[in-house]
Structure 1
């Protein structure tokens, strides 16, 4: 399911990664993130998912002398985490790196990666940050809901907008991801939501204070627990009926 390697263990950032995060915890997080992405995308069956190389997500910690935080190499289903970024984190390493991994793991599994280097890369980055948001790992440096100049800004701005759309039409992002197999079109919003993306953006800017009621990580886990408890009650009731006869 997941594999992690720290190739920067002799650097300050690599050492901090080992001390405050660790490859074992990274494997756990990426595995949990994969299951969470599949749930968000409504991909319960393996055949519904975009295939990953060797059917697993890989993480490599390297020192990169740039401002890059992390990136996903599509052809290898591999995530590279910059040890330099880890070294410069001023907040909680576990929380920030976990949020970053949820974002990058989404890239491994989301459809439409052939379009990510084109003019529509913003939608894929927005979906990845949407998953990060729903998992409860919105970064403290993100803009707030309703901020931003356009729906196609990408990342946090687009994530909040997608969150709004998914509140209006639960499962919107799952349907959108499925349509992204063939690349992105503004018409996707109209076909799924019944309104153009321009109309939805105007509505969003006017109503960004709406209460949240989307499928957060806790809500999804609660729903799973409730379904399991209901199933157990049905089995118990059936058993009672049989034994009573």
Structure 2
């Protein structure tokens, strides 16, 4: 009985500590609701404000540009236990507090992650590398603090390939947009309605993916 009582007290103390560490704030603006859950009580208040402001700046823009039917309610979690940089699933963006302490200017991690919410590809038939490439293209185009975060599209290298994903693919898409304005939006729509195939590249540009990459490699200026 005494053992049970001690365990109960320890459990209550643990729960009290958890509730103290978790700070939940709710925001509503321009038709979008953000639930901000912070497990890091050392997170700088100014940084928290920047993350929230970034959401309200870029998410409506991304929704308007790519998917007006995207979710109206999003949750953002600052997680002290998450080992990566950030991830998104089911309208929930999880960001590593460790990363934000190390890279406080990298607030456009929000831009990349909320683009995944806008994408809403589900079990898409399209390639995963294109999904991430489009998200980084969105960060390139709509990001609010990329220069301060020392984030940019990488210079072309002969060792690269279109399926390297993320910034490499994003740069290829930015190059493609020069001759085919709106092509990223087209790809995004086809990924979302599950009509994207390997033939989509030629259908939209007149060239295969390999032919496009060859042209890009010959003149990769963005």
Runs of 4+ aligned structure 1 residues displaced above 4 Å come to none
Q: How far 1:143 sits from its partner (Å)?
A: 5.7
Unaligned runs of 5+ in 1: 211-245
Whichever structure has more helix as a proportion of its residues is: 1
SS of corresponding position for 1:113: coil
Residue 135 of structure 2 corresponds to residue 133 of structure 1: no
Q: How far 1:142 sits from its partner (Å)?
A: 5.4
> Could you say which residue in structure 2 is the equivalent of 1:87?
101
Q: How far 1:39 sits from its partner (Å)?
A: 4.1
Residue 81 of structure 2 corresponds to residue 56 of structure 1: no
| Alignment RMSD (CA, Å) | 2.3
Q: How far 1:65 sits from its partner (Å)?
A: 4.9
> Could you say which residue in structure 2 is the equivalent of 1:200?
212
> Could you say which residue in structure 2 is the equivalent of 1:36?
61
Aligned residues: 186
> Could you say which residue in structure 1 is the equivalent of 2:113?
104
Q: String of CA shifts for 1:18-74, please: whole Å, max 9, x gaps.
A: 33411x433321122112213442x4xx4xx3x42xx222211111252x100001x
TM-score (norm 2): 0.75
From 45, 59, 66, the equivalent of 1:19 is 45
From 166, 173, 177, the equivalent of 2:188 is 177
From 190, 199, 202, the equivalent of 2:202 is 190
> Could you say which residue in structure 2 is the equivalent of 1:146?
156
Contact 1:126 1:159 in 2 (8 A): yes
Contact 2:88 2:116 in 1 (8 A): yes
Q: How far 1:158 sits from its partner (Å)?
A: 0.4
Unaligned runs of 5+ in 2: 1-31
Change (3 A) 1:78 1:209: same
SS of corresponding position for 2:36: strand
